[in-house]
Amino acid sequence: MKDNRIITALITGASGGIGYELAKLFAKDHHNLVLVARSGPKLNKVADELQSEFGVSVKTVALDLSAAAAPQFLFDQLGREGLVIDVLVNNAGYGKFGEFVQIPLEESLGQIQLNVAALTHLTKLFLGPMMERGSGKIMNVASTAGFQPGPLMAVYYATKAYVISFSEALANEVKGKGVTVTCFCPGATDTSFQDRAGTENSRLFKKLAPMDVKTVARDGYLGLMKGRTLVISGWKNWLVAESVRVAPRKIVTAVSRWVAEKVE
């Protein structure tokens, strides 16, 4: 029997930046949404906008996914409400600029909890039902940072390397079973990420122009819908990602630090 349900997409980190732009793209294609972020008021504003403009159903969940119990809480709540998630977008994440030894431990562990543990937990919870239905899509948002070591943002770069490796492996495991896993790797993008991370004055953002967030989100969305395993937004970012695979690691690391350093 053909399933005529309207597709529902769950997007984390949906109150701004890439997550917000992805939500608009899903809504434009008449998909219902479950939006998750820490800020309830921001989420409600986004929901009102999307419902008014596109006429889709938008459920908001104000939740801090860096809390260890949050992914299970979210999964259980949606289950009680009978919501079936067809597309999972693990977009929530953050970084912090500075030498590892100087950054508070809670900041480093917080990045690991949100960027790695919560993403892994949510993928585990929602992938099972997708496999049972024989349909579904997962997007894990990584970064071109994941292709090389990142002095001055060591933990963030390492977490994104995990997301790339994890996602590519999962994509192989589910191949041919009706479910796709896409790893989306934006480069520097014009969002509020750099303000929270403290990288707004780095060479990367001051001298090397970041990409427009709408363009980046569109690249990721199209790649997800095509079932591509790895999506790198922008040809310059693709060239960088490919070049670091063959360049000497010491040189790659030195260049990575130079790009991250702050400039006047």
CA distance readout (Å), 259 to 119, 124, 130, 170, 199 = 27, 35, 40, 31, 10
Residue 151 burial (CB count, 10 A): 17
Identity of the amino acid at 205: F
DSSP H/E element including 161: helix 154-173
Identity of the amino acid at 63: L
Q: Which of 20, 156, 157, 221 is catalytic?
A: 156
First to last CA, the chain: 63
* Size (the chain), residues: 264
Q: Quick check: 207 and 259 in contact, CB under 8 A? A: no
Active site residue 156: yes
- Match 């990602």 to its residue by tokens: 241
Angle at which helix 119-133 crosses helix 70-80, to 10 degrees, equals 30
Q: How would you class 62 by CB atoms within 10 Å of its CB: exposed for 0-12, middle for 13-18, buried for 19 or more?
A: middle
DSSP helix/strand/coil, 45: helix
What would the two tokens of residue 15 be? 């109150």
What's the rounded Cα separation, in Å, for the pair 181 and 196? 28
Strand order in the sheet with 8-12: 58-62, 32-37, 8-12, 87-90, 136-141, 179-185, 230-232
Positions marked catalytic: 156
